[in-house]
Amino acid sequence: MDIVSCGFVKDLEVLESVGKVSFRLELTTPACPVKDVFEQQARERVKALPWVEEVFVTMSAQPAKPLVADNVPKGLEKVSNIIAVSSCKGGVGKSTVAVNLAYSLAGMGARVGIFDADVYGPSLPTMVSPELRVLQMDAETKTIIPTEYLGVKLVSFGFAGQGSAIMRGPMVSGVINQLMTTTEWGELDYLVVDMPPGTGDIQLTLCQVVPLTAAVIVTTPQKLAFIDVAKGVRMFSKLKVPCIAVVENMCHFEADGKYYYPFGRGSGQEVVSKFGIPYLFELPIRPTLSASGDGGEPEVVRDPVGDVAKIFSNIGVCVVQQCAKLRQQVATAVTYDKSIRAFRVKIPGSSEEFLLHPATVRRNDRSAQSIDEWTGEQRLRSSDIPENIEPESVRPMGNYAVSITWPDGFNQVAPFDQLQTIERLVDVPEPQSSLESQIHPEEGQIQDVHDNISQATTVSNADAILQHAKALKDRNARKNDAL
In the chain, the amino acid numbered 463 is D
pLDDT at 460 over 50: no
What is the band of 257 on the pLDDT scale with cuts at 50, 70, 90? confident
What is the band of 185 on the pLDDT scale with cuts at 50, 70, 90? very high
Pairwise CA distance, residues 86 & 193, whole Å: 8
Pairwise CA distance, residues 368 & 376, whole Å: 9
Pairwise CA distance, residues 216 & 124, whole Å: 18
Neighbours of 419 (CB within 10 A): 20
Of 443 and 439, which is predicted with more confidence?
439
Handedness of CA 316, 317, 320, 326 (dihedral sign): negative
From residue 284, give the alpha-carbon distance in Å to each of 101, 125, 269, 311, 360: 15, 24, 15, 10, 54
Q: Which of 345, 334, 335 is nearest to 439 (CA)?
A: 335
Residue ranges of the chain that CATH labels 3.40.50.300: 74-326
Topology classification of domain 9-63+449-482? GMP Synthetase; Chain A, domain 3 (3.30.300)
Lowest mean pLDDT among 231-235, 397-401, 459-463: 459-463
DSSP secondary structure letters along 320-388: HHHHHHHTTS---EEEEETTTTEEEEE-TTSS-EEEE-HHHHHHT--STTTB-TTT--B-S-GGGS-TT
Q: Which of 401, 403, 431 is nearest to 417 (CA)?
A: 401
Q: Domain 333-419 - what CATH class?
A: alpha beta
Residue ranges of the chain that CATH labels 3.30.2020.30: 333-419
Pairwise CA distance, residues 275 & 316, whole Å: 21
Whether the CB-CB separation of 324 and 453 falls below 8 Å is answered with: yes
Pairwise CA distance, residues 147 & 150, whole Å: 10
Q: CATH for 74-326?
A: 3.40.50.300
Q: What interhelical angle do 35-47 and 463-482 show, nearest 10?
A: 40
Lowest mean pLDDT among 386-395, 403-412, 457-466: 457-466
- Compute the average pLDDT of residues 336-344: 92
Q: What is the pLDDT of residue 418?
A: 86
- Compute the average pLDDT of residues 309-315: 95
- The gap from C-alpha 57 to its chain's centroid, in whole angstroms, comes to 30
From residue 154, give the alpha-carbon distance in Å to each of 107, 194, 195, 446: 16, 11, 14, 26
What is the band of 388 on the pLDDT scale with cuts at 50, 70, 90? very high
Lowest mean pLDDT among 172-181, 264-273, 467-476: 467-476
- Reported for 234-237, long-range contacts at CB under 8 A and 24+ positions apart, including other chains, are 235/88, 235/199, 235/203, 236/84, 236/86, 236/207, 237/275
Residue ranges of the chain that CATH labels 3.30.300: 9-63+449-482
Residues whose CB falls within 8 Å of the CB of residue 277, separated by 6 or more in sequence, listed in order: 217, 233, 243, 244, 245, 246, 271
Lowest mean pLDDT among 98-102, 165-169, 401-405, 419-423: 165-169
pLDDT at 382 over 90: no
Across the beta sheet with 9-15, the strand order is: 9-15, 20-27, 54-61
